[in-house]
Amino acid sequence: AQSVTQLGSHVSVSEGALVLLRCNYSSSVPPYLFWYVQYPNQGLQLLLKYTTGATLVKGINGFEAEFKKSETSFHLTKPSAHMSDAAEYFCAVSGDWDSNYQLIWGAGTKLIIKP
Amino acid sequence: GAVVSQHPSWVICKSGTSVKIECRSLDFQATTMFWYRQFPKQSLMLMATSNEGSKATYEQGVEKDKFLINHASLTLSTLTVTSAHPEDSSFYICSARDSLGANSPLHFGNGTRLTVT
């Protein structure tokens, strides 16, 4: 079975500072991994995904994530935080075919940007 | 591409009434849609998987008769909260894939904020 752990329910960084949101996963099969962002009272928007190939994946809004199999991690980073990055971020891994590949979600990390 | 439209974005209803939420895939066909519920400051909780032309698959603990799901076409799934009570107040979100496979991301509607008074 798959599972996702996001370390830190809240992460606070200063504007212009590095953003690092942590995600560790557990999967019995090669994982497909996703990061989503949710702004208040809205649905979720895909930031980036890892399926196969290059382990460093780039997404929208300047975010990127690196798949590290040995560490079972898929941490999300952005070199310089912007006020508009303040939101909730969710990491997810695809479930099995018998679950219609539903996504298994982390608990989410709220990113707070300090001016 | 791959837009999911959810309506209404918010609704207030009285206790005991029913509320229908629509989820449409605008530019793709979705044989499967997922319905989530999200409590404040929490992650998404999968309620059910909606399959076009067949019965929905509900997650453990979700009342089928309370949350009626209909997926009558490849572009429309509806969630009806029947005999709503204040504890049903929540944020409901639908999602769908535009292609099959585990590597295909989910596309989300903007959610529906339900408040039952």
The pLDDT value given to residue B104: 85
Q: How large is the C-alpha radius of gyration of chain A?
A: 14
Mutate to test the interface with A, among B34, B38, B39, B43 (most CBs of A within 10 A): B43
DSSP string, A33-91: EEEEEE-TTS-EEEEEEE-SS-SEEE-GGG-EEEEETTTTEEEEEESS--GGG-EEEEE
| Span B37-90, pLDDT tens digits | 998 888 899 999 998 888 899 999 999 999 999 998 999 999 999 999 999 999
CA nearest to A107, candidates A18, A32, A24? A24
| Span A60-98, pLDDT tens digits | 999 999 999 999 999 999 999 999 999 999 999 988 877
Chain A residues close to B4, C-beta within 8 Å: 43
Indicate if the pLDDT at residue B18 is higher than 80. Answer: yes
| Span A26-38, pLDDT tens digits | 988 889 999 999 9
According to DSSP, residue B88 is labeled G
Residues within 8 A of B (CB atoms), A 37-96 only: 41-46, 49, 51-52, 90, 94-95
Confirm or reject contact between B32 and chain A (CB < 8 A). yes
Residue with more model confidence, A66 or B104: A66
**B32-38/B90-96 β-pairing:** antiparallel
Confirm or reject contact between B34 and chain A (CB < 8 A). yes
CB-CB: which of A32, A106, A108 is closest to B103?
A32
Chain B residues close to A43, C-beta within 8 Å: 4, 6, 93, 95, 108-111
- Kindly tell me the sign of the dihedral angle through the C-alpha atoms of B102, B2, A62, A39: negative
